Amino acid sequence: MNPVIDKVAQWSEEGKQAALATVVKVERSGPLGPGTSMAVSEDGQVVGSVSGGCVEPAVYEEAMSAIEGGEPRLLSYGISDDEAFGVGLTCGGTIHIFVERVDW
């Protein structure tokens, strides 16, 4: 089974809100490919990865915002993006990550 989905299902059973971040596209090189995902619970628990660590802090903040406000968002991080470079994405590519609140 998928450990990210398993954890989201557990959070659901516990009545916790969560957000799911999924890599939807990679241009040039990227740390992880499309389909990889990371989930964040309302109490800050994290499972999975969307970048092997280099943009997780920024995605974590976006996930917490999605939990609070419910708005899905498409994020892009690349070497030309100052924010992405600041959080460590130096692999030379661009990754696109869709973040959404998981509603049950």
Residue corresponding to tokens 């917490």:
64
Domain range summary for the chain, segments of one domain joined by +: 3-102
pTM of the model: 0.84
Within the chain, what is the greatest distance between any pair of CA atoms?
41
Query: Could you tell me the pLDDT band of residue 82, with boundaries at 50, 70 and 90?
Result: low
- Give the torsion sign (CA, 76, 82, 84, 90): positive
Strands (E), the chain: 18-27, 37-41, 46-48, 73-78, 94-102
* Tens of pLDDT, residues 21-62: 999 999 887 777 899 999 999 999 999 999 877 788 999 999
Residue 97, token pair as written in the block: 């990550």
